[in-house]
Chain A
Amino acid sequence: MQADTIFPVGTYGYQQVDLDFLNERAAQFRDQVARRLSGDLSEDEFKPLRLMNGLYLQLHAYMLRVAIPYGVLSAAQLRRLARIARIYDRGYGHFTTRQNIQFNWIKLEGAPDILAELAEVGMHAIQTSGNCIRNITSDEFAGAAADELLDPRVHAEILRQWSTLHPEFSFLPRKFKFAISGSPHDRVAARFHDIGLIAKPGADGAVGFEVFAGGGLGRTPAIGMKLREWLPEHELLAYMEAILRVYNAYGRRDNLYKARIKILAQALGRDAFAEKVEAEFAAIPKERYRLGPEIVEAIRARFGQPHFDAPDDAPARLSDDRRRDHGFDLWVRTNSHPHRAAGYISVVISLKPNGGIPGDASAMQMDAIADLAERFSSGEIRVTHLQNLVLGHVRQDELYTLWQALGPLGLATPNRGLITDIVCCPGLDYCALANARSIPISQRISERFADVELQQQIGSLRINISGCINACGHHHNADIGILGVDKKGEEFFQLTFGGRGEEDAAIGQIIGTALPESEAVNVISRVIDTYLARRVQNERFRDTYRRLGATFFKEAAYAVN
């Protein structure tokens, strides 16, 4: 990428110094790999260094996780990911629940070349693993959604920069995840992150943040505690420093499974935890850590803005197209989101084809999406935490043409937010931590409910699948959560129901024993049948579940005939 030219839409345009920094970083990693290959570094010493660059050793190969800050990619960046998939991997990549992409078949010797290729387009794998501040995730409809109060991506970029190679917080007790939203409709699961921020406007154009800390999923799911109703923008970094310092000093280091900030926050209790944070915050020299409006504006100025030029009749033409083509209408109904600008719309490109692997995209698909993004959506692509892609700024009168182009690519599945829009971790097919394969059961469910009309009839419903207790598939906060467990060497699946990730965050409950794959799919079918039989009018699954209760569903679904 050429620096200091036209800025990419929706993401930060790197300056030459930023690109130099990535090159320095890539060179550092090339050194480290050379020291590992020559034996100067032991695997134990190399491990934290490779993890700081997103390189994991998995079951069959190295896996490289590339950061996609706040989930936004330019077309050039997506093409580069396609190239990496083609040259260094097996022709595909896997988009993750943290808006990153993973390449699963990497050779250690090739990893430095990949980082150098990424640096050329302003990308990296810094802090995509290890006990440090990870990729800052954000709303996939940021800067586009009609309901948004504030585009959170400028502050996500500020947090990304601030947390990059942070001297004090690169060896925390455990990993640390931020999410930031600018909409009152929380699409980032802010309450399920180590720190969750809701950006909002105040009086006189002021910007502030609602601050949650201590949320998380994994072994001990916890809903974040609200530390501040309103944190002024200029104190954002000082306050984040305060939370991280308390965590770094007092977080547990004796037990990997009790090392996240949520455990510290719960052990202290909300008030004592908040008191420690506020005491540290009070002691911090505010001027040194001040985030002045001039810094915010300088960073904002390097974000490209979409140019809106839809004709007045764009909505009418979209309506005509929908009337003419039922398949298109179905897709628009589920896979679009209202845009703030007249005549525009955001669309979700489902990476959940019938029977496919959730979140996977081939190099060919990535290249094609990059082309379509340039043609239809200001060259901007977003990755969602539900493992789909979004084109944020599409003219309504061009949507039909876009949809026609997506179909032959296998990218027009009309299932966003429906039962086959499954979130799924890589599971035992790849992951060294997994207890069970999560991909096959997601494929079985996808096949079972493949009928589009049936999916529409079932309506809004989220299934999340994790192959182990670490919960990368976020099974706790789905309507139906599936957790892979190991029972004496056999793969079993524990179901949870009633989880929610948004403003009304809730952790799913277990209502029956773990089951083998086919039985688990049957139980889900019976739960859905029960819901369809008992729902009142257009009641959503989650509401019916809440109304009838866990016991009712347990009896209906787990009843042995």
Chain B
Amino acid sequence: MPLIECGRIVSDPWQQLGDDAALPSGPCILSLSRLQQDEAVQNASHLGLGVALPVDQPAEVLAPYLERLALVAVNFPTFRDGRGFTQARSLREHLAFSGEIRATGNILPDQYAFLLRCGITTVEIKDGADPAAWQNEADRFSFTYQPSVLKEPVLSGLRRTIRFGVPRNTYSQLIGK
């Protein structure tokens, strides 16, 4: 599936790994149960380890593994199920996770700014979906009325300036680190 980052299609080096599949040499996304139970995985020294956080689990279950993780995938079973927003925000805000947070499942372009402002960096979109719709939504509003994990600069009162449109590559660039 195409992957969107900062409104652009980017290449996806990550591989979904089944619970019984052998560890590859490249970066891979595991299930939470495999991450929790497979010592070989925990000790693997290859570059990238990612996990798919089940939608009904709090982000805090990942606390013991976060140092080893470069990616957390949060899932949206339907676009109406907003638990992934809170999971992502918890990862950033409570657990100080600075790796990639990927949104998977059913998401609409109209939700893109919300995803970014909760700390999600990449989104798996449907095959054939128009990336321009995502870019448009990222650029839709120039400010917002509440703080977020992106620590947007204060414009006035409760207002914060947001600007996602400029292509950036990583979360750390997005938050200006």
A residues lining the B interface (CB < 8 Å):
15, 17, 20-21, 24-25, 28, 31-32, 45, 48-49, 131, 158, 161-172, 237, 245, 248-249, 253, 283-285, 288-289, 295, 298-299
Contact = CB atoms under 8 A, between A and B. Distances in A.
B108 A45 contact: yes
A131 B141 contact: no
Contact of B147 (A25, A253, A288): A288
Contact of A167 (B83, B140, B148): B148
A28 B141 CA distance: 10
A28 B140 contact: yes
Interface stretch (B15-23, B97-105, B152-160): B152-160
B14 interface: no
A17 B79 contact: no
B172 interface: no
Given A49-B110, A171-B81, A249-B58, A164 B145 contact: yes
B147 A289 contact: yes
A560 B41 CA distance: 77
Interface residues of B, number: 38
Given A162-B145, A168-B114, A288-B147, A249 B93 contact: no
A167 B159 contact: no
A295 B148 contact: no
B137 to A, nearest CB: 8
Give the interface centre of B111, B118, B146 by most chain A CB atoms within 10 Å.
B146
B163 interface: no
Interface string B70-82: 0000000001111
A169 B82 contact: yes
A313 B118 CA distance: 59
A167 B157 contact: no
B114 A299 contact: no
A298 B143 CA distance: 17
5 nearest A-B pairs in the assembled complex, by CB-CB distance: A171-B82, A167-B117, A167-B114, A161-B145, A168-B85
A287 B142 CA distance: 23
Contacts of A285: 93
A334 to B, nearest CB: 40
Contacts of A32: 110
16 contacts: A17-B143, A17-B159, A25-B141, A28-B110, A45-B79, A48-B80, A49-B108, A131-B82, A167-B114, A167-B115, A168-B118, A171-B111, A172-B82, A245-B90, A248-B86, A299-B157
